[in-house]
Amino acid sequence: MTTQKPYRAPVLADVAREARVSVPTVSRVLNGSKYVAPELAQRVQRAVESLGYRPNEAARSMRSGRRTLVSVLSGATANYGYARTLQGIETAARRAGMSVTITMVESGEDDDVKRAVDLALAHPTAGAVVLEFDRAGINARHMLPEGLPVVVAGGGSRRTGGIPAALIDERTAARQATDYLLRLGHECVHHIAGPTAGKHSGRTEGWRAALTDAGITVPTIMNAEWDAASGYRWGERIAGRDDVTAVLCGNDEIAIGLMRALADRGVRVPQDVSVVGFDDQPLVAMWQPSLTTVDQDFEDLGARAFGLLERLVAGDGSATSSVVVPQLVVRESTAPPRG
């Protein structure tokens, strides 16, 4: 059993020794300063290659003040939307030569939020992206220190307190989805909302606005979790009601759960009830019936959020929120009401 000697990455001094130059000269070569003789530069390059030298960003940023780390704060979930947004941020950051740390906020409780923020900022960070799809994210934003570059990524129409945000205008999308159902001839559209702790989400607000504008009495909101089981439970109750002919769901999971419960009770979608989801997860197009839903480009959302942060870090005060209106994708789960 050989003892593994602990890993020691080569440092500038090792390169300098190997190339028989001083440490600052190596730095100059690596940072592309002029004023270095071509021959020395070549010796340095060779030494870098042969030793497999990799600059230490921590030391570099400590001295230079340039930071190459971006911190993402998100709710504690592997949800499709979160994962996709993170991917968008990471890809954009990687292309810009920045690394990404991810910290999950276990809940909206002060303790959890504080711990998460402390960990997220433990390593010196150029700025933070807060994924604000839930309470945990919102609370996290409020606990970030004054002056740190911060951007928000999330569903639109929420106040972000002067912080630049990349948004998806869920409100408009929900309104369009609701209008679409009304145009099909439904006299009312019901709504199953995800948990949002007090305030209503843009999805809920858009739905309400569409009904109000059409002069329709807004029915009671059905509150659910974001998961399919929760949608299923509402489906069990809706199956026994004649007055529900169209349902706008807070997300695709809820919609799928709802549809299964309806099917189990012999209620047909879309003949008896129309169902609309939110997110357009990859699988829902394969459903039977395939789900009419709102397509959200989360990857683009992440990329836009990172772009804003980049400008903010560069001191470009003109960085202003960007909003995208997602598109309704009409599939098989919606139809005119019977009779």
123 binds a copy of itself (CB under 8 A): yes
DSSP letter, residue 232: H
Binding pattern to a copy of itself, positions 22-61, x when CB under 8 A?
A: ------------------------------x-xxxxxx-x
Q: How far apart are CA 229 and CA 227, in angstroms?
A: 6
Rule CB under 8 A: choose which of 18, 90, 132, 179 binds a copy of itself. 90
314 binds a copy of itself (CB under 8 A): no
Torsion, Cα 209 210 215 217, to 10 degrees, reads -70
116 binds a copy of itself (CB under 8 A): yes
12 or 130, CB closer to DNA? 12
Q: How far apart are CA 321 and CA 308, in angstroms?
A: 8
Rule CB under 7 A: choose which of 42, 50, 56, 288 binds DNA. 56
Query: What part of residues 15-54 is at the interface with DNA (CB under 7 A)?
Result: 21-28, 30-31, 34-37, 40, 53
100 binds a copy of itself (CB under 8 A): yes
Q: How far apart are CA 193 and CA 21, in angstroms?
A: 66
Query: What part of residues 142-181 is at the interface with a copy of itself (CB under 8 A)?
Result: 145-149
Q: Which does 13 bind (CB under 5 to 8 A by kind): DNA, a copy of itself, none?
A: DNA
Q: How far apart are CA 142 and CA 135, in angstroms?
A: 11
288 binds a copy of itself (CB under 8 A): yes
Long-range contacts of 87-91 (CB under 8 A, 24+ apart): 87/299, 87/302, 88/298, 88/299, 88/300, 88/301, 88/302, 88/303, 88/305, 88/306, 89/129, 89/153, 89/302, 89/303, 89/305, 89/306, 90/302, 91/299, 91/302, 91/303
Long-range contacts of 113-120 (CB under 8 A, 24+ apart): 113/139, 113/140, 113/143, 114/143, 116/73, 116/140, 117/73, 117/143, 117/144, 120/71, 120/72, 120/73
Query: What part of residues 214-243 is at the interface with a copy of itself (CB under 8 A)?
Result: 227-228, 232
Q: Which does 321 bind (CB under 5 to 8 A by kind): DNA, a copy of itself, none?
A: none
DSSP letter, residue 166: E
Which amino acid does the sequence have at 188? C
119 binds DNA (CB under 7 A): no
Q: Which does 104 bind (CB under 5 to 8 A by kind): DNA, a copy of itself, none?
A: a copy of itself
Rule CB under 8 A: choose which of 260, 324, 329, 337 binds a copy of itself. 260
Number of residues engaging DNA in binding (CB under 7 A): 28
Number of residues engaging a copy of itself in binding (CB under 8 A): 73
* Interacting residues with DNA (CB under 7 A): 8, 11-13, 21-28, 30-31, 34-37, 40, 53, 55-56, 59-60, 62-64, 66
